[in-house]
Amino acid sequence: MKILKALGIILLFVIIAATAGGFYVNVALPDTGKPAVVKIEPTPERLERGHYLANHVAVCIDCHSSRDWGVFSGPLVAGTSGKGGELFDENMGFPGKIYARNITPHALGNWTDGEILRAITTGVNKDGKALFPLMAYNRFGKMDQEDVYSIIAYIRSLQPVKSEIPATELNFPVSLINNTLPKPADFQKIPAASDTLKYGAYLINVAGCVDCHSKMDKGNIVPGSEFGGGMEFKQPAGTIRSPNITMHPTNGLGNWTREMFVQRFKMYADSSFKPQHISRDELNSPMPWTMYAGMTQQDLSAIYTYLKSLKPLDNKVVVRTVKALSK
């Protein structure tokens, strides 16, 4: 009887501790501090830089807009810049239903600049709730603070688009764990462009290449698979997987020259490029080629330099698997 009584006490203690822990995580977290008191002036320099970063490097506008999947690479639908609504769900390997938010002044008009800054760089929204790290605050919090200011100035200048977005729904226990993920920003100064390796590392962090060109498990990168490709994008016609972009000689980009790499992007910025229409029984590239094509040759070249510095991963990716469609 004493043993049963002792076990009962231990079980009660465990239940109380678990309840208290869950209450703390659910109520007290996230805690990245109060929003900064800051007023970001929309100078012409910031607006130009913010446009470049938001459309061609960080590609915020890619996720926070509608894309026309009836055309190669899913270009933006006119008039939807920043309106949000894109769904990322279990079919894409995410733990629930995650919706890109409306980032036009329609939705952010009552946010302070400090609240937007906190959301972008620490993952905590205006109401103190944790954002799912698909919104890559862990990367953006390592940017140069002035670059983030420029992005904020730019999205403030977007045309307001009325669009009410459903609330994100995370599966348990990710819904609880998510509250523990936000952390204060660790801003880094942008390296000089002449230091090509460090500058390329900065750009590739902003661009988030690793987020798609790695294997994923429940929305998290599988350690050791970084840049080796393998993330799956399921489509009606089958599955397309991100390629290995390390410099492995047979399974990666090892045989690509710098010129080939840069041209692979810039071809989509050429006036002669005519986007191809994609039917339902064809696989479409999820890569926003036309957006990244707007990067300067200098920036693309620096990214190539950084990729050259990585350990080549011997990961052979079957990029396309087509399935027969029922009629």
Is the Cβ–Cβ distance between 125 and 132 less than 8 Å? no
Predicted pLDDT at 23? 42
Higher-confidence residue: 102 or 16?
102
* DSSP structure string for 111-137: S-HHHHHHHHHHSB-TTSPBPPTTS-H
* DSSP structure string for 254-289: TT--HHHHHHHHHGGGSTT--PPB--TTS----S-H
Is the Cβ–Cβ distance between 123 and 181 less than 8 Å? yes
| 70-110 residue pLDDT tens | 999 999 999 999 999 999 988 777 899 999 999 999 999 99
Ranges assigned E (strand) in the chain: 87-88, 96-99, 169-170, 216-217, 220-221, 232-235, 238-241, 320-322
Mean pLDDT over each residue of the chain, to the nearest integer: 91
135 has pLDDT over 50: yes
18 has pLDDT over 50: no
Predicted pLDDT at 21? 45
294 has pLDDT over 90: yes
308 has pLDDT over 70: yes
Percent of the chain with pLDDT over 90: 82
Q: Which of 165, 152, 160, 85 is nearest to 120 (CA)?
A: 152
Task: Give the pLDDT band (50/70/90) at residue 325.
Answer: low
Task: Give the pLDDT band (50/70/90) at residue 1.
Answer: low
Can you tell me whether residue 69 is helix, strand or coil? coil
| 139-198 residue pLDDT tens | 999 999 999 999 999 999 999 999 989 999 999 999 999 999 999 999 999 999 999 999
20 has pLDDT over 80: no
Neighbours of 13 (CB within 10 A): 10
- CA 272 to CA 269: how far, in whole Å? 8
Q: Which of 27, 297, 38, 225 is nearest to 146 (CA)?
A: 38
Is the Cβ–Cβ distance between 96 and 169 less than 8 Å? yes
Min mean pLDDT across 43-47, 112-116, 132-136, 305-309 is at 132-136
Can you tell me whether residue 321 is helix, strand or coil? strand
17 has pLDDT over 60: no
| 255-279 residue pLDDT tens | 999 999 999 999 999 999 998 999 9
Task: Give the pLDDT band (50/70/90) at residue 2.
Answer: low
**pTM of the predicted model as reported, rounded to 2 decimal places:** 0.90
- CA 316 to CA 76: how far, in whole Å? 31
Percent of the chain with pLDDT over 70: 90
| Residue showing tokens 């002669």 | 272
Task: Give the pLDDT band (50/70/90) at residue 3.
Answer: low
Handedness of CA 185, 186, 192, 193 (dihedral sign): negative
> What residues have CB less than 8 Å from 11, skipping those under 6 apart?
none
Measure the CA angle with vertex 127, ends 126 and 131; round to 5°: 75
Give the residues across from 99 on adjacent strands: 87
Instruction: Kindly list the distances between the CA atom of residue 18 and the CA atoms of 9, 11, 122, 195, 209, in Å, as whole numbers in the listed order.
Output: 14, 10, 27, 50, 38
Could you give phi then psi for residue 161, rounded to 5 degrees?
A: -125, 120
